[in-house]
Amino acid sequence: MAYRRITSESVTEGHPDKIADQISDAVLDSILIQDPNGRVAVEALVTTGMCIVAGEISTDCYIEIPVIVRRTLERIGYAAEWGSGFDFLSAGVLVAIQPQSPDIDLGVRRGGAGDQGTMYGYACRETPELMPLPIMLAHKLVRRLSEVRKQRLVDFLHPDGKSQVTVRYDEQGQPLAVDHIVVSAHHTAEASLDEVVEAVRAEVIDKVIDPALLSPDATILVNPTGRFVRGGPLADTGVTGRKIIVDTYGGVAHHGGGSFSGKDPTKVDRSATYMARHIAKNLVAAHLADRCEVELSYVIGYPDPVAAEVDTFGTGRLADEALSDLVREVFPLTPGDIIEALDLRRPIYFPLAAYGHFGRDPSEAPWERTDAAAALRDRAGLATAAP
């Protein structure tokens, strides 16, 4: 039998790139609290002892960006007394903000997209969340790693960390088993490798991975280099938007290249990608496909997408062209209509900036709702009840 292996990674909220994402979305949320129509495109860079916040903001409200940065760093867990080598109080904060370009604003004000680009959404039947199995397991591992640190179940973990999961698939694309697991945990200098391995195996991997998922010869590695003492911004520079594959589908689906964090919903990089996921998930939830990728493409200043295409990889109950037509009938696709349908002018983004934007509870991520599945089946001429 021929096999295919798919590997996905995730990172903790204390990873430098994710720190930058969270700072960017914390700034965005702070503005949306006061000004739901504020225009924001903000990026952050974190490195040893320093954070730089730069970008474009147009709003009538006022926020203290250095305060937001320090509050975010503290919330993640970077404080001197915790010994991670990066301190929310002493880190320097530089801010370079200017208004949004009036040329971009002109196109947005008449209902058009805030930029050009292609956005993708994906769904499949591998997990209850209708997400690929490798990325969901990778997210759960690092989320649990952070929980163990915050709950002080062990006393030697620092905020940085990564995971990687490899799943073996059969010829039909069905997941068979987990072949490889890697967890890298940032820790104090006093902790021995044996202590770290034992704790991560017992409190993280064993709590997340069902033994029935593991292949008989599965490889499990904890801190493969033997040490992970120097971590976080002390060891690595983080920048907003460098974990876009972690944010989406772990490399299983296409990606248009645009990041989400720090961007208000007039930016189709964010809003149209959320809608593309919403469409794909509803098509799969409606049993119109077992696996589905949706492509939406926009031109700056124009409201309607120049492309709205569906690819079911041969699993569709209707032809892909028919499903693409159905998508245009059922779903709102202009930037303004997407924002309204998904209620995106709210301060909901900071919690999404780590552990992925998809496969979430619909209460925190409205694009995860499957409320259009019945309408899709009805329009497709199928019985309302799923097979």
Q: Tokens representing 260? A: 């989400």
What whole-number distance in Å separates Cα of residue 48 and Cα of residue 200? 27
Report the mean per-residue pLDDT for the chain.
94
What whole-number distance in Å separates Cα of residue 131 and Cα of residue 133? 6
Say if 361 falls within a structural domain.
Answer: yes
pLDDT given for residue 82 in this prediction = 76
Q: What is the mean pLDDT of residues 214-225?
A: 96
Q: What is the mean pLDDT of residues 54-63?
A: 95
* Domain co-membership, 249 together with 223: no
Q: Tokens representing 215? A: 């292949």
pLDDT at 348 over 70: yes
Say if 238 falls within a structural domain.
Answer: no
Say if 65 falls within a structural domain.
Answer: yes
Say if 324 falls within a structural domain.
Answer: yes
- Per residue in 323-332, pLDDT (tens digit) is 999 999 999 9
- Per residue in 29-49, pLDDT (tens digit) is 999 999 999 999 999 999 999
What whole-number distance in Å separates Cα of residue 184 and Cα of residue 256? 29
pLDDT given for residue 38 in this prediction = 94
* Domain co-membership, 274 together with 193: no
Domain that includes residue 342, residue range: 117-124+243-379
* Domain co-membership, 206 together with 283: no
Q: What is the mean pLDDT of residues 63-67?
A: 97
374-379: long-range contacts (C-beta < 8 A, 24 or more apart)?
A: 374/286, 375/330, 376/282, 376/283, 376/286, 376/288, 376/326, 376/330, 377/286, 377/287, 377/288, 379/326, 379/329, 379/330
Of 368, 353, 364, 256, nearest in space to 43 by CA: 353
Q: What is the mean pLDDT of residues 215-240?
A: 95
Q: What is the mean pLDDT of residues 234-254?
A: 97
Is 22:76 a contact under the CB 8 Å cutoff? Answer: yes
Q: How confident is the model at residue 385 (pLDDT cuts 50, 70, 90)?
A: very low
Q: What is the mean pLDDT of residues 210-216?
A: 96
Q: What is the mean pLDDT of residues 95-122?
A: 80
Query: Could you tell me which residue, 226 or 387, shows the higher pLDDT?
Result: 226
* Domain co-membership, 258 together with 369: yes
* Domain co-membership, 253 together with 207: no
What whole-number distance in Å separates Cα of residue 351 and Cα of residue 171? 37
- Per residue in 133-163, pLDDT (tens digit) is 999 999 999 999 999 999 999 999 999 999 9
Q: How confident is the model at residue 108 (pLDDT cuts 50, 70, 90)?
A: low
- Per residue in 287-319, pLDDT (tens digit) is 999 999 999 999 988 899 999 999 999 999 999
* Domain co-membership, 145 together with 192: yes
Q: What is the mean pLDDT of residues 228-235?
A: 93
pLDDT at 2 over 90: no
* Domain co-membership, 94 together with 142: no
* Domain co-membership, 147 together with 75: no
- Per residue in 261-296, pLDDT (tens digit) is 999 999 999 999 999 999 999 999 999 999 999 999
Residue 378, classed as helix, strand or coil, is: helix
pTM of whole model > 0.85? Answer: yes
pLDDT given for residue 288 in this prediction = 97
* Domain co-membership, 46 together with 71: yes
Q: How confident is the model at residue 116 (pLDDT cuts 50, 70, 90)?
A: confident
* Domain co-membership, 204 together with 272: no
* Domain co-membership, 153 together with 53: no
Domain count, the chain: 3
Q: Which of 99-108, 118-127, 293-302, 342-351 has the lowest mean pLDDT?
A: 99-108
CATH number at residue 327: 3.30.300.10
Strands of 175-187's sheet in order across: 4-11, 157-169, 175-187, 214-222
pLDDT given for residue 372 in this prediction = 97
pLDDT at 98 over 80: yes
Say if 279 falls within a structural domain.
Answer: yes
User: Residue 98 gets which letter from DSSP?
Assistant: E
